[in-house]
Amino acid sequence: MRYERAIAISKRHIELLVLVGAGSYSSSALAEKLGISEQTVYRDILFLKRQGYPIQSVRLPAKWAYQIASGQEPSRRSEGRRHQ
């Protein structure tokens, strides 16, 4: 069961990265698209940032949104941790 949960979380992280990479989504929009709470979005974004993904919060005219920082790649140190 723990293994299945870990796989589900990994898949959610991938979906989150795809969405954040594709556009500027607010935490509430991400939560709605993924069927999770905003708190889970915050927790997942923090986890992904700590893993080296260059996710940033940006202020748009009507909201805050997440984006991948332009021209940045995940750091090498964290890439190795993800593949181990």
* Structure token pair of residue 29: 């929009």
What is the gyration radius of the CA atoms in the chain, in angstroms?
13
What element of type H or E holds 82? helix 76-83
Residue 59: the pLDDT is 92
Residue 71: the pLDDT is 67
CATH topology of domain 2-83: Arc Repressor Mutant, subunit A (1.10.10)
Question: Per residue in 5-50, pLDDT tens?
Answer: 999 999 999 999 999 999 889 999 999 999 999 999 999 999 999 9
Q: How confident is the model at residue 73 (pLDDT cuts 50, 70, 90)?
A: low
Phi, psi of 44, deg, nearest 5: -65, -40
Q: How confident is the model at residue 80 (pLDDT cuts 50, 70, 90)?
A: very low
Residue 81, pLDDT > 90, answer no
Cα distance between residue 24 and residue 66, in whole Å:
6
- Residue carrying structure tokens 């709470």: 37
